[in-house]
Amino acid sequence: MAKTVLVTGASAGIGKATAILLAQNGYNVYGAARRTEKTHDLSSYGIKPIALDVTSEESIVNCVKQITNEAGTIDILVNNAGFGSSGAVEDLSIDDARYQLDVNLFGAMRLTQLVLPQMRANKWGKIVNISSIGGKVAFPLAGWYHASKFALEALSDSLRMEVNQFGIDVIVIEPGGIKSEWADISNEKMTAVSGHTAYKDMVASTQKATTNLALPEPIVIAKLIKEGIEAKRPKTRYVGGYGAKPILFLRKILPDTLFQKVILSQTKG
């Protein structure tokens, strides 16, 4: 029987590309999103749209319950829902910071908690957490986003060691730059939060450095996700997208102070 997959954040970008690719390859796919009006076209690919707000316990529970009632189980969970709440640490409100963690971290982990019992019973399952190179490398003006992704990486590693005994794999995907609405939303937030503060010059330089980049399409990451869930012994991490491998390589070989100079050279006002 076809494996049942729940892909969160399926209304656009990586989530949408992943849902379509998996459906085209015989998976039984549920595409979840808060903005359900943007998921209507998924039905033409055989994907079942489903409402999900990852910041709402009721919504999370109802989503998992509906899928298990209809399909019997969730075999693969792709925790993709997320966004970047940009702005200087000094400027971004703690309420915004909490919401960033609610979406990018706690929502993903709550879904994971709910799907694990059935995966353990089946002695098979895949948890795919969409992190970022920003889960390994921190840039200025995105501190709380990085905090959410660093934490997601740590929890993924702990979880992997806990559930391996039950035949469950935990896979981390670390995209670099990808063509999507994510960057535009992040830059708009950065401007609103810090574009008129002491950090305004850094904001302007950062936006200049990240404008008009030749970013690859989300299908690049969707293919990595498919590779990971179909591997008999998947890697713990898969990396792809604009600048991902070079940036992670530099982070690995350079001391902190030198790497920081490299980053700041791109963001000086």
Q: Which of 158, 64, 172 is closest to 126 using CA atoms?
A: 172
Q: Which parts of 46-103 fold into alpha helices (H)?
A: 57-71, 94-101
CA distance 143 to 131: 15
Indicate which residue of 145, 186, 189, 199 is catalytic: 145
Q: Which residue has the tokens 């869930």?
A: 229
Query: If you ran DSSP here, which 8-state letter would residue 169 be given?
Result: E
Contact 101, 148 (CB under 8 A): yes
Indicate which residue of 131, 148, 156, 186 is catalytic: 131
Torsion angle in degrees (nearest 10) through CA of 120, 116, 67, 225: -100
Indicate which residue of 3, 48, 126, 149 is catalytic: 149
CA distance 132 to 144: 13
Residue 70 tokens read as 């209809």
Q: Does 11 qualify as catalytic in the annotation?
A: yes
CA distance 127 to 116: 9
Q: Does 145 qualify as catalytic in the annotation?
A: yes
Indicate which residue of 11, 85, 132, 156 is catalytic: 11
Write phi, then psi, for 108 (nearest 5 degrees): -65, -40
Write phi, then psi, for 21 (nearest 5 degrees): -60, -45
Q: Which of 228, 238, 205, 193 is closest to 89 using CA atoms?
A: 193
Active site amino acids = 11, 131, 145, 149
